[in-house]
């Protein structure tokens, strides 16, 4: 289970999520695990999230005072959760005979831009980390936080500790250090589909960065999507695994020849979708901009878009798009107020109980016919497709939410995902 001791010390960045440090008992276990990894001959860097529930509690406190609390001080507040877990884990390691040092974002020089609540890391100074590692110390770094050029505390967006861990691993790798980045969470890896929807879901040994990005974007909440983008960009080896069970998890890797054999790696379902259709529009340059710009300004996340010309009886143009179910009332209202004056004959219809079901796999690039097969499977199951959208490695269909489970199950077996051992 634990690999052999390497000749040159390899650095393992171990990131522990909120549930993994959710109680004192769990923090103790993390401390022991880190020391055991160090005893194997590795150098260990810890990155931690706030104890589970803490960040939500802080969000709640702030929003009681102001429903739109976004500001420097909001980041200052949210970042405090990680300060607690860093300190506790460091205490835990030091109290059982290990050597650890807690480090907050500003102490390390995790420099970000000033986009509060979703800051991006620009630079990480690895000197302190490397000096501590050289002395046999385990640096325990606060995830999720950094500082901007004016020394204000910034945060990286919810789930951002994953990104902190990958960024630290990438910065060390840039210095020529051999790294591995382990993300410890409450599930033991990445699954072919959501085990709560399909009992036959299987854990994947490997998945590519690209597939992971598609799945993370589809609501598979194992990793913050930015962390995967960063890992892909710097080719940081990622290992998603459980902090409660020492078995191998899922490795996120680059696309290789072996992986190309697999056509579909995962089936994702996003149950909370809605569709808006606008009919009787007249075609003119800039129409799509007129429709989608006000939606974007109102932060409505529009996903699949389909435009069809001359389909109405009047020979008009129709546009459909999907958005999260929660945003549907706002989306229809915006379309109505913005477009009605320009297109008095326009008709708006919407449907809210929809699900987006997608199959994802880099193997699609080399295997034609995946879309046809998917449509065949759904048709055999009597499932109506309401919208289709495809990319190089993903095919998405919109179906009635109450058919999503069936769709996932049928696709999961049709693409042989049940058989992964």
**Maximum Cα–Cα distance for the chain, whole Å?**
79
Give whichever of 159 and 249 is closer to ligand ASP, judged by the CB atom: 159
- Residue closest to Mg ion when measured from CB atoms: 159
81 touching Mg ion, by CB under 5 A: no
Structure tokens at 139: 């640096």
Give the Cα separation of 388 and 280 in Å (integer). Answer: 21
Give whichever of 17 and 316 is closer to ligand ASP, judged by the CB atom: 17
Structure tokens at 345: 């004959």
55 touching ligand ASP, by CB under 6 A: yes
Q: Candidates 33, 74, 144, 321: give the one binding ligand ASP (CB under 6 A).
A: 144
Give the Cα separation of 140 and 130 in Å (integer). Answer: 12
List CB contacts of 406: < 8 A, sequence separation 6 or more.
Answer: 381, 383
Shortest Å distance, C-beta 243 to ligand ASP: 13
Structure tokens at 280: 């009787």
Residue 363 interacts with which of Mg ion, ligand ASP, none, CB < 5 to 8 Å by class: none
Q: Give the contact letters, 16-55, x = binds to Mg ion (CB under 5 A), - = no.
A: -x--------------------------------------
Structure tokens at 412: 């999961």
Q: Candidates 22, 98, 160, 316: give the one binding ligand ASP (CB under 6 A).
A: 160
Cα–Cα distance list, 61 to 66, 163, 193, 390 (Å): 9, 25, 35, 42
Residue 321 interacts with which of Mg ion, ligand ASP, none, CB < 5 to 8 Å by class: none
Q: Candidates 31, 50, 220, 268: give the one binding ligand ASP (CB under 6 A).
A: 50
DSSP code, position 137 = -
Piece of the chain touching ligand ASP by CB under 6 A; list 39-47, 157-165, 306-314, 329-337: 157-165
316 touching Mg ion, by CB under 5 A: no
The answer to whether the beta carbons of residues 276 and 375 sit under 8 Å apart is no
Give the Cα separation of 22 and 85 in Å (integer). Answer: 9
Q: What angle is formed at CA 124 by the lines to CA 226 and CA 242, rounded to 5 degrees?
A: 50
Q: Give the contact letters, 77-116, x = binds to ligand ASP (CB under 6 A), - = no.
A: ----x-----------------------------------
Give whichever of 191 and 343 is closer to Mg ion, judged by the CB atom: 191
Give whichever of 81 and 266 is closer to ligand ASP, judged by the CB atom: 81
Give whichever of 84 and 406 is closer to ligand ASP, judged by the CB atom: 84
Structure tokens at 340: 């009605």
16 touching ligand ASP, by CB under 6 A: no
Give the Cα separation of 356 and 354 in Å (integer). Answer: 7
158 touching ligand ASP, by CB under 6 A: yes
Shortest Å distance, C-beta 87 to ligand ASP: 15
The closest of 94, 80, 77 to 27, measured between CA atoms, is: 94
The closest of 247, 248, 240, 245 to 220, measured between CA atoms, is: 240
List CB contacts of 390: < 8 A, sequence separation 6 or more.
Answer: 371, 396
Shortest Å distance, C-beta 228 to ligand ASP: 14
Give whichever of 81 and 105 is closer to ligand ASP, judged by the CB atom: 81
Shortest Å distance, C-beta 156 to ligand ASP: 7
Residue 50 interacts with which of ligand ASP, Mg ion, none, CB < 5 to 8 Å by class: ligand ASP
What is the DSSP code string of 143-207?
SSEEE-TT--EEE--TTTHHHHHHHHHHHHHHTT--EEEEEEESSSS-BSS-TTT-TT--B-SEE
Give whichever of 120 and 405 is closer to Mg ion, judged by the CB atom: 120
Give the Cα separation of 113 and 127 in Å (integer). Answer: 21
140-179: contacts with Mg ion (CB under 5 A): 159
161 touching ligand ASP, by CB under 6 A: yes
Q: What angle is formed at CA 223 by the lines to CA 220 and CA 227, rounded to 5 degrees?
A: 135
Q: In the complex, which residues of this chain contact Mg ion (CB under 5 A)?
A: 17, 159
Interface with ligand ASP (CB under 6 A): 17-18, 49-50, 55, 81, 143-144, 158-161
């Amino acid at each position: 289970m634990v690999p052999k001791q390497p000749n040159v010390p390899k650095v393992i960045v171990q990131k522990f999520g909120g549930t993994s440090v959710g109680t004192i008992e769990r923090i103790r276990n993390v401390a022991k695990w880190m020391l055991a990894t160090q005893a194997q001959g590795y150098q260990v860097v810890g990155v931690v999230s706030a104890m589970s529930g803490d960040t939500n509690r802080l969000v709640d406190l702030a929003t009681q005072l102001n429903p739109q609390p976004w500001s420097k001080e909001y980041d200052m507040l949210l970042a405090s959760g990680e300060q607690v877990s860093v300190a506790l884990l460091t205490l835990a390691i030091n109290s059982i005979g290990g050597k650890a040092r807690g480090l907050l974002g500003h102490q390390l020089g995790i420099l970000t831009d000033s986009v509060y609540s979703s800051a991006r890391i620009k630079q990480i100074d690895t000197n302190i980390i490397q000096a501590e590692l050289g002395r046999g110390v385990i640096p325990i770094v606060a995830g999720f936080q950094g500082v901007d050029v004016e020394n204000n505390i910034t945060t990286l967006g919810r789930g951002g500790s994953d990104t902190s861990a990958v960024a630290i691993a990438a910065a060390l790798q840039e210095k020529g250090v051999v790294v591995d980045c382990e993300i410890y969470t409450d599930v033991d890896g990445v699954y072919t589909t959501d085990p709560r929807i399909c009992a036959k879901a299987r854990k994947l040994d490997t998945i590519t960065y690209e597939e992971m990005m598609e799945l993370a974007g589809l609501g598979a909440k194992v990793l913050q999507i930015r962390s995967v983008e960063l890992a892909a960009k710097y080719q940081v080896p990622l290992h998603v695994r459980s902090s409660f069970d020492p078995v191998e998890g899922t490795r996120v890797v680059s696309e290789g020849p072996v992986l190309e054999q697999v056509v579909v790696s995962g089936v994702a379902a996003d149950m909370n979708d809605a569709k808006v259709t606008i009919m009787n529009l007249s075609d003119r340059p800039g129409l799509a901009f007129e429709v989608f710009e006000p939606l974007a300004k109102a932060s409505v996340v529009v996903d699949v878009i389909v435009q069809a010309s001359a389909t109405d009886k009047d020979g008009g143009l129709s546009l459909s798009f999907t958005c999260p179910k929660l945003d549907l009332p706002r989306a229809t209202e915006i379309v109505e107020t913005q477009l009605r004056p320009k297109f008095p004959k326009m008709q708006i219809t919407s449907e809210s109980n929809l699900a987006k079901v997608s199959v994802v796999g880099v193997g699609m690039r080399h295997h034609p016919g995946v879309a046809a097969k998917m449509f065949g499977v759904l048709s055999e199951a009597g499932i109506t497709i309401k919208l289709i959208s495809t990319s190089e490695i993903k095919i998405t269909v919109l179906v009635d939410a109450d058919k999503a489970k069936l769709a996932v199950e049928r696709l999961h077996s049709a693409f042989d995902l049940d058989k992964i051992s």
